[in-house]
Amino acid sequence: MKQYKWLIPALLAVYVAVPLVFGSDNYVMSLVIASLVIGGIALSWALLGNLGGMVSFGHSAFFGVGAYASAVLTMQHGVPVFLAILLAGVAAIVSAILMLPVLRLRGPYFALAILAYAHIFRILATEWTSVTGGSAGIANIPRLPAIAGFDFGSKTGNYLVILTIVLVFAAIYDMIRRSPHGLALRAMHDSDDATRVVGVNNTLLKGLMLLVSSFMCGVVGAFNVHYINFLEPDYAFSTLWVTIPIVAAIFGGYRTIIGPLVGAVVVYLVDQLVVKSIIPTGHQLVLGVVLVAMIIASPDGLLALARKFMRKKDAAA
């Protein structure tokens, strides 16, 4: 339990201190919410990469499918927003089931196959105008509702919802990693052939990780669409929903649970608050430089670098 002694103070800080300090600043709260959205995608990507041993370039498919599913369910079928967000995760799972045949591919072939699926879903969203509105998009998507007198559609309400989503997903990730299946998945990550020899069904476990990862990403996409209240294909299936979360996950440490979340918050906030003010155009190029520098300095990410620094500090003391 000692390793979790920091958990309660950290939860109090993120749930109480952040709204108290920044709740009146809509711009800062918007950046924090956006960083948590990226963190949620980064977490789902890291789960698939760390436990499933699969690098995906197509998580924008799950993000976009979840976003469209929730928008259509609420606007065309009258489904309550929070229920629609959960059902959007199920819709993302359905889209992932369509991708199961590519699980037998390895390395870059799998990554490119998933990327191709994302482009297919974008084309479908553009052409299926009767449901998605086509390239014109969908406007006036319902925001998060008010419940028991608290407006979840406010900046603070949105922040609390997306924070809860990513923390619940982090807990699920931790439970999977600690389970016997998680042990098999981590062993498979190191040696796919060795685990197959001892009777582990690698394809089944990889498929399950793909479904869990897609659900997480779909729910985050659904939340985001009710936060911004607008959706169109190029935004829903943008490659930014792949590149920035991957940078965040690797920067923070994709083999840890909290690393992708920390990486997303640090990378996005530094990019928007510092780098963008210095380099208004092309500021995201700096993300590539930062990522290369981090890989050279600490291949296991920011958290590993921080632990190394603290160990040196303790040794010096």
Identify the pLDDT of residue 1.
45
Q: How far is residue 262's CA from residue 37's CA, in Å, rounded to a whole number?
A: 12
In which residue ranges of the chain is pLDDT below 70?
Answer: 1-5, 187-200, 282-284, 299, 304-317
CA-based nearest residue to 217, from 34, 40, 36: 40
Which tokens belong to 28? 């800062």
Q: How many CB atoms lie within 10 A of CB 82?
A: 18
Give Rg (Cα) of the chain. Answer: 20
Can you give the pLDDT at residue 282?
66
Q: Model-level pTM?
A: 0.89
- Identify the pLDDT of residue 185: 75
Cβ atoms of residues 143 and 229 within 8 Å: yes
Cβ neighbours, 10 Å, residue 63: 33
Task: Report pLDDT for 249.
Answer: 87
